[in-house]
Every structure is written in C-alpha cells, then in structure tokens.
A and B are shown apart, each in its own frame.
Chain A
Amino acid sequence: MKISAGTPDAMPPGLRRLFYGIFCWANRHPGALRVFGAVLRRWPFVGGWLGMAARANAVKAVLTRPNSFSNRAHAPNLSAGDYLIGMDPGPTYNTDRRLLDDRLAVLKATLPAAADTAVQIQVQALKPYGNKPFDLIDDYLMWIVFHAMYPLFGAATDRVAAGATGNLNDLGLQRQYLLEIRYVAGQLLSGSSATLRIQRRAELCADALRARIADVNGDIQGAWGVNGPVNVISRNAVGLAWISHPVTVQSGALAVQELLGRPKVHRVLRAEARRLGTDAVWQDTAFRDLVRNHVLELMRFRPIFPLLARDVPRDTEFETGARHNATCPAGGKMAIWSIAAMFDSDVKKDVSQFCPARKWGNDEDLRWLMFGYGTRQCPAMVYAVDILTSALIGLLTRPGELQLARGEGQAIAYDGALMSRMRVRFT
C-alpha cells in the first residue's frame, strides 16, 4: 500500500503500529532475518510465492534488471523529494549521477586523511569522559562523519548546518541539522510501514531541510562551482545531505554494536592496536586493512538495509533457484533479502562464520551487497567504509575497552528502526 506523507491513515487503528513494531523488531534482530532467509534459500519456491529473492544469484539477477524491477519502489520513502536512490536510469538520473560523482571525487582526495584527523580530534574530545558513559552516536560518530564529509558541501557546509541566518559557530544548530537529516533518512528505511507519527515527523524534517537548502542555495552553488538550474542544485543538495551522513552514522553504530557482541574479535583488534602504539595505528596500512575488513564483515552481519523492495512495472519472472521461476504480476512489489544473499553458503561454505580475513575472490561483490548491487550500488560505499574504519581505529586507540554502558537503563535506544542512542564507555 502506498501512503505518501500527509495523507491520513487508511489502516484500522492499531494494525499499522503492529506491523511497524514487527518491522522494527526484525531490523534490530538481523539474526532472526538470517534464519528466515536461510529458510527461503533452502526452499526457494516459498520465496517465489511470496515474491522474495533470497539466494545470492537470484538477488544479483534481480538487481541487474532495473527495467523489470524498478528503483521507484523507494520513491514514496523519499520524504524530501526525488533523488538518485529512487530513480530509474534516465536523463535526470544521469545528470544527477554526474553531479554526485564530481562531489565524490573531491572526497576521494581527502580521505582517509581527513577522517583520521576528525577522529583524532573527537577522541581527544572524549577524554574528559574518562570511563563515564557517552553516546557513541551523538558524541562521536555524528561529528566524525560530519567533518570527514565536509568536502561534499565544501565551503558551504557550515552555512548549510547553521541555516541562512544562524551563527556558524553554534554547535547546537549543527546538532539540530544532523538530527533533521537523520529523520529524513529514517523514512527511507521504514517507508510506508511506519506509523503516521514517524512519517509526519520525517515530512516536517524534510520540509525544514528543503527550506534550509533553498535559503543557502547560492552558497552551495558557489561551493560546488556549478551553474545548473536552481531546482537541480537543490534536489541534489537535499538528497546528498540526508542520505550521506545519517546512513554512514547508522552503519557505524551497527558495526560497533556487532563488534561489542563479539568480545574475542574486539580483544584481538585492541591487542593489535596496543602493539602498534597510538601513533603507528594511523600509519600502518596492514592494520588499516585489517580494521577495514572487520568493518565490512561487521556490516555484513548487521547491514543497515537488510531488505530492499522493488516495484514491478510490467509482468515478469525471476529465477529463485527453484525448479520453476517465480512470476511477478505488473503493479506489484517484490522483496530482496540481501541479508540472506550475503550468507548464501552455496557461494562460500563458511559464509555464516565471522571471518574478516576471508578471501572472497570472485564473490567480492557479495561482500559489499549491503551497499546494493549493479545499477543500484551506493557510489560512495568505499568512502563510507573508509570513514568508519578511521572511526573504529579511533576507538581502538583508547586504553580502556569499549563496552555498552549498562546499569542506567537501556544502553541502546531505538527510534523506530533507527538506533537513536548507544551509550558506551571505556573500562
């Protein structure tokens, strides 16, 4: 059912809350999704009935057929207006993609050095906490990602964050901006399954974001050095703002959550970092690669988008891996179980094991499946992993061991499907 922001709830009271509850629970418990995904992989015809692709081959095949399985399934979830992620290839897509690639090129030059600097500053800022709890998202990741992605808006970044009239040094305004984009991004995740309140909040934030970008359009144009039509600039600026930062921060938080659930892995990494010393950790490329592999593996176990949806514009079929192909009637939707594909043991025997050092060989792309695949793969995935690698190294450099801060209520707080707080401390 398509429900765009601003429309009343057409479901009986309570039912939507129930669905949304199930959705959020599933998102927070990727293990459960993996189990269900395993069932779908084992008996692919079940997935065929339900319009779900679960095997790695099936998922990849679906994602490389944009004409049959349209990206526009995401369009209703884009509360701030159309953007690349909800478009099918076409002239608009191509223009926007070029614009984005230009921005990412700037990022390429600055990373990972810029991320390292940002992490070091933020680690310093954590010192006063000692072994007291802090919020991994609000006090750490949010700022690191913000500073590491500074080149995306270049000189206009501060203006975007502070708004047209705000004081550039007002940290509170920056924090408010980062919250604003977080809710817009949250809508991408939950879409029409969310309760009306969540949808309306995303809509309000999206309105605010659009107004904010419209106010500083001139600055952005200057920073980007492009002379496109105003609506193109604002569409891309809005889209870039809400997708880049919040998704990276969430992924980082999920990765750390997964890491904290694997104390052995954590201990090994810390020992390695301690062996290298506080300065060498930043220089040692082998260590960086090690951490990077860990980040990827952690993200595989806790992907931010475990499931994806696709619109089916015309009657078609897809190969589930069963004897018969699954038919997809036009006008329907289908679900892609990326989380099941990433654990497809047909590809690698030990794929269900946590093994950062695994050689993926020809199946390297499967390792990155949480970023999408084919025409719908995140163009900035490498940079996101770079930034998160730096962020994780930063956490490893501290003498104490990072742990969830229990004792004062829940350490992890959720806002729907999103993680809104993760209280941790060094012990």
Chain B
Amino acid sequence: MLEIVRQQMICILVPGWDGTTDLSESGSVCNALDALFEEVEVVQFASIALLPARVDAKDSRPSLMLELAIEEGITPYDMLYRLVYHASGAMWSLYSSFWPGDATALQSERNNKLLEKLMAGVSIADGGFIGARDRTARQIKKEQELLQWTRDQARAMKATKQYGDDRAAFALALAQRAFDEPRFDWALDPAPRSYWRGKGAGILAKVGYVLAIFVLYLAAVWLVGAVPRGVLGIYTWLFGAPYSGVQAVVDAVCKASGWVLGVSIRGALALVGLGYLAWLFLVALPAVSKSWRRWLKSVGRELDRPTETWSSWSTYWVGWIVGVPSVVAVVAFALVFIFCPGTIVGAYHALTAKFLGWQIIAFIILAIVALICVVGVLSRIDQQLAAGNWFFHPYEDDVPRAQQVYTSIDYCEGLVVHETAHMISLTDVRRPNGWNAWWIRTSLRIVTLFGRVFFTEGRLGSAPGIHFGHWHIIEEGRRYLFCSNYDGSFGGYLDDFINGATIGTTLAWRWTTLKPRESAAIGQPAVEAPRSFPPTRFIVFRGVRCELKFKSYARDSMLPHMFRFDARKETVDQINLATGLRDALFGERNDSNDDLIMRAIES
C-alpha cells in the first residue's frame, strides 16, 4: 500500500560523473530530455542535480541524480524502460559520457547497458507525500483548460449583463455552455478518485478495512490450529488413534496457534486501551477542563521552545523524572498484559486476599487526591515562577551564518517564482548509520502512511502546497536526500512544515547532520563548516521549531538543480479547484456546485 506511493518518486543516482556532458539550460541534452518527458506524458516532474561526493568516499567525483515524480501505479523498471528505449535516445545522450567512445554501438545494446546501470542506481522513496494525487498530468492539463475556458466565458458573459442578479442562473448558463462544448466530453465522467480519497472510504471504511484484515488474520491463525485438530479427530473416529508423535505435533501446533491468537487479541486490546488513554488525556480532558488544556499547552510549548529558558529546561527534566517513567510503566503493564496476563490475575488475587474491597477503593481515591494535590502544587509553583520574568527569559543561543542562501540556489528560486518551487537537500545520516537509518525509515513509513490514508486532500498535516515531497536514504544508509516541489517560497514552505507538520518533519530529519563537503561543480555550493539538525527533546519536540537553526540547516544542505521539467505549473490549490470545477459544472445543479463555479471564476 505504501509502495505504490513510494515508487511514484524515484531518484536515480549514478556515481562518477565526469562533467563532460553539456547540461546548460538550452543545450541539446536538456532540450531532448524536455521533449522526452513531454512525450512520455506520465512524468510529472523531473530534475537533475549533482550530488557532491562524501569526504570519505573513494571516488571524489559527484553523482548525477535524476529525480522523477511519476504517476501512480508505474514501477521504476517500467518507467525507465520506457524512457531508455524511447526512440529519441535522450537518456543515452544524458548518460553517454559514462561510456566514452561507444556512440557507434547498436542502439539496443546501448539501451540495455544504460538500463542496467540506471536500475542499479534507482532509489525509490523511503517516504513521501503527494499533494495533488489521483490526477495524471493529462487530466490536470485538460482540467486547467476547462478552468481557463470557464473564466473566459464568464468574463464574456458578464460583459453582456444578461443574467441579472442571480448567481444560480449564471452558474447554470455556464454549465450549459460547458455541456455544449464538444471538447469537454471527457468531463462528463466524474473525476477519478482512489480508494482512500474516494467517497467509499470514509472513516468507517478505513477502520473497517483494518478490522477486516485483523479478523481475517485471526481466522487464519485459528484455522492453523483448528484444521489439524479436526482432521485428526475425523481420522481417529474413522480409523482409530494415530501414532503418538502425530498427536504431539498436532497438540503443539494447536497450542502455538492458541498462544498467537491470545497474544494478538490482547495486543489489539492493549492498543485500544493505550489509544483510549491517549485520547482521554490529550483530547477529552483538554476539551472539558480549561486548566488541563492550559497546562498541556504550556508543557507542549515549553518542550518545543527553541531558546533555552529556565521554564523550558525544568519542564524537560520534570518530563524525564515523571513523564518517562509513567509512560514506561504503562507500556510495561501493557506488555505484561499481552504476554503474561496470568501475572496480573495473580497480582489481583493476591491483592484481594490481603485487602478488603473498601480498602482498595479508598487507596485509589487517596492516590487520585494525592495526584490532584501534586498537580495543584506544581501549577501553583508554575504561576509563582511565571510572575518572575527570569523564569521565561531566554538565554543567548548563537546560530552562526544564518539566513544565508547560496547564489545559484537563489537564482534557481528566482527563475521559477511563477511556477512550482523546488528544493533538493542532501544531508548525512548521523552515526551509527544503520541504527539511525532504520529509525528514519520507520518514521518515514509512518509519515507516508498518514499522508496516504488520512491527509488525502492535498495537505500534509496542515502544510499546504506540496506537489511531491520525498526522502531517500542513499549510499548504504550514509546519506539522506530530500527532494520536493511545492507552491510558494522556500521560507514559506518550511514555515508550513514547522507549523503544520511539526512532528512529521522533526521525525523525518532528526537523525541527520551536515558534514563538510566539496562543491560538486563550479558555481555549486559546498559545505565548509558542519552544522547539525536542531536538538530535539523526547524525539518529537523542539527540532524544527528552532526556525533559524532549521532553516539554516536546510539552506546549507541544498543543491541547485541543473535541469528541471515540470509537466504542470499550476498550484495544488488550483489543481484542486479545477477538478472541483469539473465536477461542479458537469454535476448536479445545486447551491454548493453553483457556489463553487462562481468562486472559480473570481479574479
């Protein structure tokens, strides 16, 4: 389920680039690539960049990276096959310098060699998000034509002033004209939607899907035990008892199946319980209690606080002393419940044997009262401290070389200010690589899952405007590549990430650092001084909240693109608007559709 997203965004890394191919903007190679992607039609975005080699790499030459964002369902092999074997030979012209003097070879031989090399360098995204999903470049193009046509028609119709004051009549007239226009026949079919975005998969369907899979799994586990037992029973009934060895094996299988069944069910129950606790403390209590809400907010704020203050520091340590042990205790209890429920039952019996019922209840009440008192005292202390400014006053925190943008990157951004912006960031995975790479992968899968299943309307968290964002762990877990194209400016994009997808962004980046490296070519940035990702607390706090540090980190890690192909230049909002307009114009005539039409034509 995630692979379908991950393989939509691929990077092909070919090391040992010697720089002899002319990649200038209007050069023949770039023109040929442009024409190729244009014709193939399923590539939505492509870019080329040079990744400088690691300092400790044997080959100090840079790698040539080709980034491709393609449509859903195509595997990297099929995509590369199509590109490499395309009659134009554009891909060969890009990579031919890896085989100097081989231009005379048969085309098919060249293509085979090239495909093999590219497949060796393919990296499908370890995690990614697609904003304007479910739409092909062709569909976007058609829908934009419809949007443009509608706006032009509306302008012309308004000039005639024959529709009076009625928005509904105006919308109806527009819809009629659209119906009459033969070139919009395709719009009669409603815009396609995938399962997770379709109307069929509401929250019930999503939960139901997970439940169905779980029940199927339980049934399968149960069958593993039940079928041999049943067969053995029938056999015994018909022919008498079998060998004792057979009986023992069947017993073992049944027992194992029963154990797995029990653990699975208790595991699910424990998950539900943990989820309930989380909901209780993070959603329900804040909703009913103002002081709890305030307290929770202040804890979050203090943990996230980018500057050092006494308030932040003390919250952090209280978190270690109180929060972490509590969480560990709850998790340990859950694990005991899952794997040795007998212990809990035993403890309960021991407890009831020793104390009377009212004693236990009184003890629980006392514990709750004590907890309330402790929270009250803490909150009082908090208020007392808050009165003194010193408690919240920040300490200096030097961020060297902040707000610096390398010239070529500044230009890359300037040139595409009317289109989709693009960033490539290359960082190093912190040591130990394997361990951190594993964590990154896990975090990215979670981000991808959430992006696929829950954030289906073009926003990741509440961060808008992302067309494609993908992360790759490359070079055997040594380095970390992030490519994204998005609407808006770099700063605004990262602001959206910081405010709208804080946890996901911190999770995706916190395992990395930036080591010094040479520049990949003349005019490209080098990293002269190392920089580290802003420190995090309890894995998900702080991190990207340190705007200055995070942006400087991201800026320093950036690489300019040398080639860029973008099938469509519209923003995600505009793409969604056009799809909505298509469904509104050709859908049922009602107020909401009329309103959507009227809003789409506003200038």
Contacts and interface: CB of A to CB of B under 8 A. Distances in A.
Direct contact of A and B (CB under 8 A): yes
Interface of A: 6-14, 163-167, 170-173, 175-176, 195-197, 199-201, 203-205, 207-208, 211-212, 215
B195 A172 contact: no
B87 A165 contact: yes
Interface in B311-340: none
A30 to B, nearest CB: 29
A415 to B, nearest CB: 12
B192 A10 contact: yes
Among B71, B198, B213, the most chain A Cβ lie within 10 Å of the Cβ of B71
B87 A166 contact: yes
A164 B78 contact: no
Nearest to B135: A8
B87 A211 contact: yes
A120 to B, nearest CB: 26
A199 B40 CA distance: 16
25 contacts: A6-B138, A7-B192, A8-B193, A8-B197, A9-B72, A10-B193, A10-B194, A11-B195, A12-B195, A165-B88, A166-B87, A166-B108, A167-B106, A167-B107, A170-B106, A170-B107, A172-B109, A173-B108, A175-B108, A196-B73, A200-B42, A201-B74, A204-B78, A207-B82, A211-B39
A9 B74 contact: no
Nearest to B110: A172
A201 B87 contact: no
Contact of A171 (B1, B108, B136, B195): B108
Given A8-B133, A172-B107, A200-B75, 19 more contacts: A8-B73, A8-B194, A9-B73, A10-B193, A12-B201, A12-B209, A13-B209, A165-B87, A165-B89, A170-B106, A172-B109, A172-B111, A172-B112, A176-B108, A204-B74, A207-B40, A207-B42, A211-B87, A212-B87
B124 to A, nearest CB: 13
B86 interface: yes
Contacts of A11: 195
Nearest to B1: A13
Given A172-B108, A173-B108, A200 B87 contact: no
Contacts of A12: 195, 201, 205, 209
B41 interface: yes
Nearest to A196: B73
A173 B110 CA distance: 11
Contacts of B586: none
Contacts of B234: none
A7 B193 CA distance: 8
A386 to B, nearest CB: 30
B134 interface: yes
B405 interface: no
B74 A200 contact: yes
Given A197-B73, A211-B39, A163 B194 contact: no
Contacts of B112: 172
B369 interface: no
A179 B106 CA distance: 18
Interface in B513-534: none
B276 to A, nearest CB: 26
Contacts of A196: 4, 72-73
Contacts of B73: 8-9, 195-197, 199-200
B454 interface: no
Contacts of B41: 207
B85 interface: yes
B79 interface: yes
B71 A200 contact: yes
Contacts of B109: 172
A164 B111 CA distance: 16
Contacts of B209: 12-13
Nearest to B4: A196
Contacts of A199: 73
Contacts of A212: 87
Given A6-B71, A9-B73, A204 B79 contact: yes
A153 B20 CA distance: 42
Contacts of B134: 8
Nearest to B74: A200
A208 B85 contact: yes
A204 B201 CA distance: 29
Contacts of A7: 136, 192
Among A167, A175, A200, A207, the most chain B Cβ lie within 10 Å of the Cβ of A200
Nearest to A198: B73
* 4 residue pairs, one from A and one from B, having the closest CB atoms: A172-B108, A196-B73, A8-B194, A7-B192
A208 B82 contact: yes
Contacts of B106: 167, 170, 172
Among B82, B112, B133, B200, the most chain A Cβ lie within 10 Å of the Cβ of B82
Contacts of B194: 8-10
A8 B72 CA distance: 7
Contacts of B79: 204
Nearest to A175: B108
A167 B105 CA distance: 10
A38 to B, nearest CB: 28
A103 B195 CA distance: 45
Contacts of A166: 87, 107-108
Contacts of B213: 14
Nearest to A11: B195
Among A11, A13, A164, the most chain B Cβ lie within 10 Å of the Cβ of A13
Among B86, B108, B200, the most chain A Cβ lie within 10 Å of the Cβ of B108
B599 to A, nearest CB: 26
A289 B195 CA distance: 54
Given A6-B136, A164-B87, A173-B108, A197 B193 contact: no
Contact of B75 (A9, A165, A201, A215): A201
A12 B196 CA distance: 8
Among B1, B194, B200, B205, the most chain A Cβ lie within 10 Å of the Cβ of B194
A184 to B, nearest CB: 13
Contacts of B88: 165
A260 B86 CA distance: 39
Nearest to B88: A165
Contacts of A13: 1, 4, 195, 209
Contacts of B136: 6-7
A7 B73 CA distance: 9
Given A6-B71, A9-B73, A201-B78, A163 B111 contact: no
Given A10-B198, A197-B75, A201-B78, A208 B86 contact: yes
A170 to B, nearest CB: 5
Nearest to B87: A163
Interface string B173-209: 0000000000000000000111101101100010001
Interface in B2-43: 4, 39-42
A166 B111 CA distance: 12
A19 B193 CA distance: 20
Contacts of B71: 6, 200
B448 to A, nearest CB: 13
A199 B73 CA distance: 8
Nearest to A203: B42
Given A165-B87, A207-B41, A211-B87, A197 B107 contact: no
Interface string B113-143: 0000000000000000000011010110000
Among A7, A163, A197, A215, the most chain B Cβ lie within 10 Å of the Cβ of A7
A7 B106 CA distance: 36
Contacts of B87: 163-166, 211-212, 215
A194 B74 CA distance: 13
Contacts of A200: 42, 71-75, 78
B108 A170 contact: yes
Interface string B76-102: 001101100111110000000000000
Nearest to A195: B73
B44 to A, nearest CB: 12
A6 B140 CA distance: 12
Contact of B85 (A10, A164, A176, A203): A176
A203 B87 CA distance: 17
